[in-house]
Amino acid sequence: MSSSGERNRPGRRPGRIGWRPERIGWRPGLLAALLAAAGTWPTEGGVPTPVPPDQRGRIDAERSGFHDANNMRTIFWNYGMVGDYPEDPANVDLSVFHSVEEPKGSGMNYSDGITPFVLAQITQGDGSTAYIMETGFRERQGTSPGQNRIMRFEPRPGYFEPSPSANPARSPALSNDPRTWPASWPDRLDDPDDPGWRGSWNGYFGKQIVADQESYTVMDDQFYDAWDYFPDSRDSSRRGLGLRIEVRGFQWANPQARNVIFWHYDITNESTTDYNDNIVFGLYMDSGVGGSALSCDGIYESDDDNAFFDRTLNEQVINLVYTWDRRGHGRDLTSNCGRTGYVGYAYLETPGNPLDSVDNDDDGITNELRDGGPGEHVSGQGAIAAYVATNYGLVHFEATYGPLANRPAYRVGEWWTGDEDLDWVA
């Protein structure tokens, strides 16, 4: 799933991030794994910047855990990767190795790893142009020429319980397991009423636990130091692009969502450099439908997958990428010839460019803002229809949100234009 763009943090002059919207999806067949880039943030904490070196990403903070609150079970890492690839792919123990396993307990895996990436154009100290590509993957990462270490996203300390006696699984923070929570949350220390939120969950919706299972990890790009580039004019030790990435996974056991896992990526520019139209965000998926072991087809199952992209379905924009096994077989706990389904990846939402007068996500609305305020008050269904006809692409709007006549604000005849999709009722 994505970025929520940039948030202002106390104690810094924020740089800007300008996103070119990327949308990636998967066809839900037997299985759907939706990676979400949501653009709203009901609550937010503050991390003063520049961030001290000992509070930036570190190798010794790496942890893995499991999302397993519905039909899907998968390992995830707090450096950004969802899923994994076994050390011995031919002889993997499917009773303990779970990489987007569906259904849970079957041993049928569907992925060899998924990671967000950020790509930006930069200007180095000598004036030359270069590109930094940042990911959180398990292989094919560059090596730092000065530090001789792998360059990838690394987790920040403080966002999980580090003691193995208190957190025996050494897991990242999970909402349904208080043993994984830190004594206090670094991004909640500025709360005057409850500094650090001790003993509380640090969730997308605040202290309230809404999902059946929510994970929360924080990482940054400090290890990307192979370029003559220093993004923060206040601190020459800050490397990479100066980005902080908050990652949340969500699962619900509700039948409508029990085969889905949602991922939310909130990317904050902590540096003093502005990134306008020279930066993109996306997701890299290493398909592994049917797992990695040898199947009845006589092939290692990670080697015969197909993929396709559907932009529309029944005239609705879906932007869905989906993958499947060529012969429909995989290795599970029952046999080497288990039937496989489809795994789908959908980019649900991400901030577009609010200043380019382009409908970035094909929903009929241009110059969308996440923090634009209530906007103009329009009263009466006729006035609302006239405003929409003048300022929206009605065909695309109704293809995305349904008929205008069914939108809540239209039905009551009172609308604030800051509610761009007309789903508020004043």
- Long-range CB contacts (within 8 A, 24+) of 417-426: 417/374, 417/375, 417/376, 417/377, 417/378, 417/387, 418/369, 418/372, 418/373, 418/374, 418/375, 419/374, 419/375, 420/365, 420/368, 420/369, 421/363, 421/365, 422/384
The whole-number pLDDT of residue 355 equals 78
Query: What's the rounded Cα separation, in Å, for the pair 426 and 416?
Result: 8
Residue 215: strand pairing partners? 174, 249
Beta carbons within 10 angstroms of residue 310's beta carbon:
15
234-265 pLDDT per residue, tens: 999 999 999 999 999 999 999 999 999 999 99
The whole-number pLDDT of residue 424 equals 87
Residue that has been written with the tokens 């009929």 in this structure: 364
Q: Is 354 exposed, middle or buried (0-12, 13-18, 19+ CB in 10 A)?
A: middle
Within 13 A of 90's CA, how many CA atoms are on the CB side?
2
Task: Check if the beta carbon of residue 405 is closer than 8 Å to that of residue 382.
Answer: no
Query: What's the rounded Cα separation, in Å, for the pair 150 and 39?
Result: 31
In 89-153, DSSP assigns E strands to: 111-123, 129-135
Output the DSSP codes for 233-286: TT-TT--TT-EEEEEEEEE--STTTTT--EEEEEEEE-SS--EEEEEEEEEEEE
Query: What's the rounded Cα separation, in Å, for the pair 37 and 282?
Result: 10
Identify the sign of the CA torsion 282, 288, 292, 294.
Answer: negative
Structure token pair of residue 344: 């789908």
Query: What's the rounded Cα separation, in Å, for the pair 82 and 68?
Result: 13
Using DSSP, state whether 91 is helix, strand or coil: helix
Q: Using DSSP bridges, classify how beta strands 35-36 and 262-269 pair: parallel, antiparallel or unpaired.
A: parallel
Length of the chain: 426
The whole-number pLDDT of residue 245 equals 97
The whole-number pLDDT of residue 348 equals 80
Query: What's the rounded Cα separation, in Å, for the pair 170 and 273?
Result: 36
DSSP 8-class letter at 157: T
Core vs surface per residue 165-201: b (16+ CB within 10 A) or e: eebeeebbbbbeeeebbbebbbbbeeeeeeebbeebb
Q: Which residues of the chain have pLDDT under 50?
A: 1-14, 16, 18-30, 37-44
Query: What's the rounded Cα separation, in Å, for the pair 369 and 353?
Result: 8
The whole-number pLDDT of residue 32 equals 53
Chain mean position to CA 355: 24
The whole-number pLDDT of residue 109 equals 97
Q: Which of 370, 323, 326, 314 is nearest to 346 (CA)?
A: 323
